[in-house]
Structure 1
Amino acid sequence: MNYQQLTRMYMENLEVRVTAAGYNQVWTDWRELDYTPDYNKFYLICDGEGWLKIGDTEYTPRPGEWFLMPQGVEQSFSYTSGPRYTKYWCHFTARIGERNLFDLLQTPLWINAEHDGWAAELFRELLKYHEDPSVTGPLLVKSAMLKLIAYYLEKSAVTQEGLKPAAVSEPLQQVITHIQRCYHRNLTIEELAELAHLQPNYFIRVFKRQFGTSPIQYINKKRLEEAKLLLVTTNLLLAEIGDRVGIPDISYLSRTFKANTGFSPSAYRLTFSAEQLPVNAKKPQQ
């Protein structure tokens, strides 16, 4: 699995929750030393001066800089003698299964958002919905938080440090490679667990903790993605496609396909095959 595939898997399984958010000037007693939060923090500095420490690295953020202070990392912050910080901020969790997103993705701890009005606009959207008392308010807050994270990751990707998944253990890499090559076979948990040198039940937990999905869910998703690709790029019969992707039972393939896409295989082919698309339209990415 390459970096892009792994990162997309993480994004598909990301769950977020906002615990606090605001826009304000800090107080003169804004100070806490050597603590380890169980949530992530974003600070977008708008004005003023101050001091941060994340892990072993100290920073004096300037206006226009957007900081990430990850969950589980020792940190400190303090007001200094200059003008106090005015900042947008939020506390949030971002989990892939049981893991923090920022344990699984290596990102810079700050990016330059100076002259970037969109960053502040995203924070304002989050604050607007965070105060929304309607029944859909929590959904709108999650949507706004996902936009913030997505934008931070997009900006991170073009920095010198870049954006890439943290290292995956060699045994799990072997499991993913094996699934990619052999998804059309009747793969068993016992077979995959043996590759990872783990007891089957423990292997399932380790896999889900790392990727946010179970091994069987991952295999089925791979099979359906391949079935979608074959439907729109070939004239193969459904039975032939089923044999190729490892789901030879046509009835089961049809039911599973519709449950996951909302289309029957034949309707999906008619809707998305290249010859059915308007001129200049792009085929959906597989």
Structure 2
Amino acid sequence: MDNAFFSRFHPRVIDVFLRDGTFWYDLGKPRRTITFESSAKRNFMLVTDGAGALSVNGVHHPLSVGSVFYFPLRNRIQLSYTPEQPLQFYSVHYDYKLIEWDGSSVTCLEPQENSLPLPVVTQAADAESFALHMRRLYDLWQGKAPDYEWQARLMFLNLVNEVRRLYSQRNEGDLTRRAIAKCMDYIKTHYAEPLEREELAEIAALSASYFSIMFKKVAGCTPTQYITKIRLDKAKQLLQSSNMTVSEVAREVGFQDPLYFARVFAGHAGMPPREYRKA
């Protein structure tokens, strides 16, 4: 699972549709296949009735009730259905940017990927529940309440995250990912100790270079960044719940240099440790 992507994923819902049987008519004439020579919109969809197929650059994917699918950008897309079971589906037209925030500054990046780091088609584990959430998103969008765009973005993020969760669960048997998860657990309990990449790679039974690559892919950040996050989270707890000095807190969570700790903490929290304690 590409957590580095989703940690930066910032979508905007543009429109929400319910595509019923009328979608398959053009100028009053029925059609069984719709073709996009080069898809120009990002769409996220759920089949609520019928059966058919999605073709992306000639690769066919069957669709049925509960199928969650999307259109990769600038690909040749064909959507079709069987005569007996016309497809009906919800469709979310969206776009997104990649947002990077280091605690003091924000960078907005245009996505370079045509596809999400997810399968083009995923079968929902609970089709009825997923359809209910899509229906709520559709009703919210049609209702146009004062905060509907913000609420729609939250609901859409939850839907995407559910697909992400399903994909992750179905790939949890991957030995490398489980090794990285084991290493992350080790960091959580040994954060106060010196932690070197080579030691962590040995725990995961991976080469140091491959460990770094896979750690970032699984955790969404480098091993050093993850260690720092764990240490700073513990430091925040100690600053608010103990009478330890800032220097004592720094050493307690694994920083040997209190001045360096204060600089890193301020960059992460937006204020020095002493101010954080008073906030």
Please classify the TM superposition score into its range, dividing by the shorter chain length: 0.5 to 0.7
1:230/1:200 CA distance change after superposition, 3 Å: same
- TM-score scaled by length of structure 2: 0.61
Equivalent residue number for residue 69 of structure 1 = 69
Q: Deviations over 1:190-234 (max 9, x none)?
A: 111222222222221111122221110100000001101111122
* Alpha-carbon separation, structure 1, partners of 2:227 and 2:71: 31
2:124 corresponds to which letter in structure 1? P
SS in 1 for 2:192: coil
1:199 corresponds to which letter in structure 2? S
Equivalent pairs counted in the alignment come to 233
Equivalent residue number for residue 127 of structure 2 = 111
* Alpha-carbon separation, structure 2, partners of 1:122 and 1:166: 33
SS in 1 for 2:127: strand
Offset at 1:166? Answer: 4.3
Q: Deviations over 1:126-173 (max 9, x none)?
A: xxxxxxxxxxxxxx89x965640314546999xxx8995842634223
SS in 2 for 1:246: coil
* Alpha-carbon separation, structure 2, partners of 1:195 and 1:155: 30
Q: What are the ranges of 5 or more consecutive residues in structure 2 without an aligned counterpart?
A: 26-30, 99-112, 144-148
Identity value in percent: 22
RMSD: 4.8
1:262/1:205 CA distance change after superposition, 3 Å: same
* Alpha-carbon separation, structure 2, partners of 1:184 and 1:107: 43
1:239 equivalent in alignment to 2:242: no
Equivalent residue number for residue 13 of structure 1 = 7
Kept in 2: contact 1:13–1:212 (CA 8 A): yes
Kept in 1: contact 2:124–2:163 (CA 8 A): no
Q: Deviations over 1:60-87 (max 9, x none)?
A: 43xxx6x422799xx9852343666464
Offset at 1:30? Answer: 2.5
* Alpha-carbon separation, structure 2, partners of 1:212 and 1:146: 21
Equivalent residue number for residue 261 of structure 2 = 253
Kept in 2: contact 1:40–1:68 (CA 8 A): no
Offset at 1:181? Answer: 1.6
Kept in 1: contact 2:32–2:82 (CA 8 A): no
Equivalent residue number for residue 211 of structure 1 = 219
SS in 2 for 1:69: strand
Stretch moving more, 84-93 or 231-240: 84-93
- TM-score scaled by length of structure 1: 0.59
